[in-house]
Amino acid sequence: MVFRKKHICLLSIILLTLAFSVEALGAPRFTIKPKVSASWRVDSNYFRAEAVEREVYTYLIQPGIELGSETAKSLVLLDYTLDAYYFDDRDPVPLGQRPTDEDDFVGHTGTLRARYRPFDRLLLGLDDSYYKTRDPAHSDRFRNAIARDKYSINRLTPLISYDFGPRFSLSLRYRNTVTDYDISTREDSTEHRGMFDLVYNFTRLTSLDLEYQHWKRDYVLTTSDYTSDQIKLILRKQFKYFSFEAGGGYHERSFDVKTLEEMEVFTYRIAVTGQNPPAPEPRPRSHITFDAEQNLNVLGTGDIYFRAIRFSLDAGHVFQEKILVSVEGYYQISDYETTTGLTPAGTTELRKDETYDISGSLGYMVTDWLTFSITTGYEERDSNLAGYDYDNRYYIGKLDFVYDLGTR
């Protein structure tokens, strides 16, 4: 609770400072967009169980607002939704398990982005994101857990960037991440991460980034604290309709507990992003993003760590300026470092999972501010160990309302 109060105070001070800066700079542009989403989702295997599947309906109501203020030297963007979840069992509740309606909760999703340029070459910034959720995906990009425990996660990132000239720029960032579970038996953690980027611009559209990150994650219970060091070289190229990124490097992780051996991995990421009309158009007719990457997972409660290889795709197109069609999916290989178990044949092996999720959506823009969409998807995990396989079919119906009150 003390940490949250400190965060609130810090954010308030920064927002007030930026507000005075905006007034001083004059002629700010303000945007206000109230919004609300309502969705219904059915999962054939809500708890991702191998044997006893439970079909569950999820009802989600998300009222929220987007606020923005921009001048020639400053930018403040705030996006917030209140997330009210309600669950309904469609199958009999197995003996000893709790009904899902006891897990109804009100969550939160909030993001803040602030930028201020006091001089032409100097940029100051602050990013913050906060989630109150049961979705484990928010805690780690490579998360392979299926738990539905309620938790909050806050990432606060101040930054400073300086341009030495048309060729070189230097940026420093610090990110504080706090993961806090509502259940006391789950393990909370705090991460302190420093990030350094030295960028060389070959041209206005081509750059080379030397990136170094150092972070320390501390757990409150029995999981070993660890320290990670990662260095990468990243090439970025911007074309008219596409942007390209290719980077690779070395990641080493050491643990405070001597019984855990150091881990190291060659980390890489290759990404292609495209849209038409080209960026910075906010609502393109067509878009596609594909990336392939490898790294270690970040959150390893219980000293469970793995090397992840992940491929992701997101593509879509707007037909007749009204009909939205999109496809989204990922495939991930999770190769565990120390976790062992029994295979279906009865032998003991290190755990290795293959997980994929593919979905397709069809939407209709009733007006510029009202959209209806339906989504169908399938996800599956195939493990070499007994007890970790699952498959789940899901369907989503969603209504989105976003109304722009105008820019002034």
Using one digit for the tens of pLDDT, what is the confidence trace for 77-136? 999 999 999 999 999 998 888 999 999 999 999 999 999 999 999 999 999 999 999 999
d(C-alpha 376, C-alpha 42), whole Å: 10
Using one digit for the tens of pLDDT, what is the confidence trace for 354-370? 999 999 999 999 999 99
d(C-alpha 127, C-alpha 129), whole Å: 7
pLDDT at residue 290 above 70? yes
pLDDT value, residue 1 = 42
Distance, CA of 332 to chain centre: 16
> Domains in the chain and their CATH numbers?
2-402 (2.40.160)
pLDDT value, residue 17 = 52
The residue written with tokens 């190769």 in the block is 335
Using DSSP's 3-state secondary structure scheme, residue 173 falls into strand
pLDDT value, residue 408 = 59
**Which segment of 12-16, 77-81, 177-181 scores lowest on mean pLDDT?**
12-16
Q: Could you tell me the pLDDT band of residue 184, with boundaries at 50, 70 and 90?
A: confident
pLDDT at residue 252 above 60? yes
**Which segment of 95-99, 193-197, 345-349, 399-403 scores lowest on mean pLDDT?**
95-99
pLDDT at residue 27 above 80? no
**Contact call for residues 130 and 152 (beta carbons, < 8 A):** yes
Residues constituting the chain: 408
The residue written with tokens 């190291």 in the block is 264
pLDDT at residue 385 above 70? yes
pLDDT value, residue 67 = 95
Quick one: average pLDDT of 270-280?
93
d(C-alpha 279, C-alpha 36), whole Å: 27
**Contact call for residues 66 and 35 (beta carbons, < 8 A):** yes
pLDDT value, residue 407 = 64
Using one digit for the tens of pLDDT, what is the confidence trace for 292-339? 999 999 999 999 999 999 999 999 999 999 999 999 999 999 999 999
Mean residue pLDDT of the chain comes to 92
pLDDT value, residue 389 = 97
**Which segment of 112-116, 184-188, 235-239, 284-288 scores lowest on mean pLDDT?**
184-188
pLDDT value, residue 13 = 47
pLDDT at residue 406 above 80? no
Beta bridge partners of 65: 34, 80
pTM score, whole prediction: 0.90
Nearest to 326 by CA among 364, 291, 355, 296: 364
Q: Cβ neighbours of residue 353 under 8 Å, at least 6 residues apart? A: 144, 332, 333, 334, 336, 381, 382, 383, 384, 388
d(C-alpha 53, C-alpha 261), whole Å: 37
Using one digit for the tens of pLDDT, what is the confidence trace for 40-90? 999 999 999 998 899 999 999 999 999 999 999 999 999 999 999 999 999
